[in-house]
Amino acid sequence: MHTSKLSAQFLQHQAASLLLYQAVLANPIGVAFLELLQAIRHAERNPAIEGVECLQAYGRWFQALATRNQSWQAYLLEQILLAENPFSQQAQQVPFSQLPVPLVKAVRHDLQILQQLYHCQPQQISEWVQTAAHASISPIAWEPSPMPHPPNLALPNFEHWADAAADLAAHYQTFGAGLLAQYRALRWQAGTLIGIPFADPVQVAHLVGYETQKEALLKNTEFLLTGYPALHVLLYGSRGSGKSSLVKGLLNHYADRPLRLVEVAKSDLCELSTIADRLRDHPQKFILFVDDLSFEEDEDAFKALKVVLEGSLTARPSNLVVYATTNRRHLIREFFGDRPRPRDGDEVHAWDTVQEKLSFSDRFGLTLTFEPADQKTYLQIVHHLAVQAGIALSPEDLEFRALQWATRHNGRSGRTARQFIDFLQAELAMGK
């Protein structure tokens, strides 16, 4: 439908007729658009009273688009691809041909309406506002520059969007919908998933010194992504050796693959089974990332993690693994008082309890050990980071400064090397 055939009243009725994709118009840009259509209709009937409100409503819509630096068309396409509704959820689990017929009809109906909203150009809306408010000039039309990248599914290429239902279902099956389609890094917080908009940009290729451990972790992650059984992984070793950075770097290493990293705090480990059930039926692959893991005696979190690692009557999701880092070889604190002595009231098989504590780390299928960095490894990391940072010092000068830094600060480690290079880069740039 061409813009000239549209009207505010027609678009308002069409938007109200959406069956599944109401959420497309439920955030600030969509809400401002619906309020603008309503204001235009009111001003058309009574411009003397409602004209100012019409201009204000246009300003709110303009500002909502400008805040996102997004065109109206790009906004609609993005919201359709992220929409979480019965169609997008079921399309991830069953083939398109097996979806309920009424559901598919509803999708085609909504796509038709959304196509009409898509063809509503900002310049045309600006002219509607000018006419309805009897303004002397039309308001500025919002046209962002540069235009955003095209979405994965090119709906505008379809003459009739209703014909794109099957392609849209295939998109959801590959990329998912909702929060998990929008974010690659997430955090479990207060009983729900929270998207992390600015994930750590660390690159696996920039982490040097532990090549064997890196290769093993990449191989296991590749198993997960290709649908083969993958192991839970414990990354154990000295502080600052890059354990956490290596796990976080997987997101950027597999940026073009359906991998999601979900950060789980130690205090939330009791909810691991809930998290696993929440992610079970999604098409993406998930790493539950637990950083700096250790337990106190009889801690409930220990029991919850043990269930996820060893399994229960509920089958473990095949699209999920746990990657945990720790500085402790034995994850549960053991005291000398825990060791069995022949006293009345003591547990008869106390050594069994001790062994259960000591062997908990063995329940991870793969344990990667990160030994403290020796001088050769430390300097290797320093040289690697210096090249990346464009630092043009002689090797001798660089190494002398790096060793002095390690002596005065936190010892030799990947973290110390990164801190040294960051400080040196700023120092050289400022000419001091």
Looking at residue 19, its pLDDT comes to 97
Question: Among residues 370, 398, 414, which one ends one of the domains?
Answer: 370
State how far the Cα of 388 lies from the Cα of 203, in Å rounded to an integer: 12
Is the same domain home to 38 and 138? yes
Assess whether 70 and 160 both reside in one domain: yes
Is there a single domain that holds both residue 47 and residue 120? Answer: yes
Residue 2: is its pLDDT beyond 80? no
Are residue 154 and residue 202 in the same domain, yes or no? no
Is the same domain home to 332 and 397?
A: no
Question: 148, 177, 206 — which closes off a domain?
Answer: 177
Q: Pick from 331, 353, 370: which residue ends a domain?
A: 370
- The tens digit of pLDDT for each residue in 5-48 reads 578 999 999 999 999 999 999 999 999 999 999 999 999 888 77
Q: Is the model's pLDDT at 54 over the cut of 90? A: yes
Assess whether 335 and 206 both reside in one domain: yes
- CA-nearest of 266, 264, 295, 265 to 279 is 264
Burial 359-382 (b: 16+ CB within 10 A, else e): ebbeebebbbebeebeeebbbebb
Mean local confidence (pLDDT), 272-295 = 89
* Whether residues 251 and 318 fall in one domain: yes
pLDDT reading at 353 higher than 50: no
Domain count, the chain: 3
Its pTM stands at 0.79
pLDDT of residue 371 exceeding 80, the answer is yes
Full DSSP string of 378-417: HHHHHHHHHHHHT----HHHHHHHHHHHHHHTT-SSHHHH
CATH number at 295 reads: 3.40.50.300
90-137 pLDDT, tens digit per residue, is 999 899 999 999 999 999 999 999 999 999 999 999 999 999 999 889
Q: Does residue 102 share a domain with residue 230?
A: no
Please give the mean pLDDT across all residues of the chain.
86
Res. 310: pLDDT tops 80: no
Which among 210, 183, 283, 291 is positioned nearest to 247, based on CA atoms? 291
Distances (CA, A) of 59 to 51, 64, 75, 391: 13, 9, 17, 49
Instruction: Look at residue 299 in the predicted model and tell me its pLDDT.
Output: 58
Q: Domain containing 87: what range?
A: 3-177
The answer to whether residues 224 and 230 touch, using CB atoms and an 8 Å cutoff, is yes
Both 326 and 397 in one domain: the answer is: no
pLDDT band at 3 (very low <50, low <70, confident <90, very high): very low
pLDDT band of residue 328 (cuts 50, 70, 90) is low
Q: What is the pLDDT of residues 163-218, one digit of tens each?
A: 999 999 999 998 899 999 999 999 999 899 999 999 999 889 888 878 899 999 99
Q: How many CB atoms lie within 10 A of CB 384?
A: 18
- Contacts with 134 (C-beta within 8 Å, 6 or more apart), sequence order: 47, 51
The 10s digit of each residue's pLDDT in 135-160 is: 889 999 998 766 555 566 788 889 99
Same domain for 206 and 342? Answer: yes
DSSP string, 417-428: HHHHHHHHHHHH
On the question of pLDDT at 83 being above 90, the answer is yes
At CA 197, angle to CA 193 and CA 198, rounded to 5? Answer: 125
Indicate whether 356 and 219 sit together in one domain.
yes
pLDDT reading at 346 higher than 70: no
Q: How confident is the model at residue 270 (pLDDT cuts 50, 70, 90)?
A: confident
Are 155 and 122 part of one and the same domain?
Answer: yes
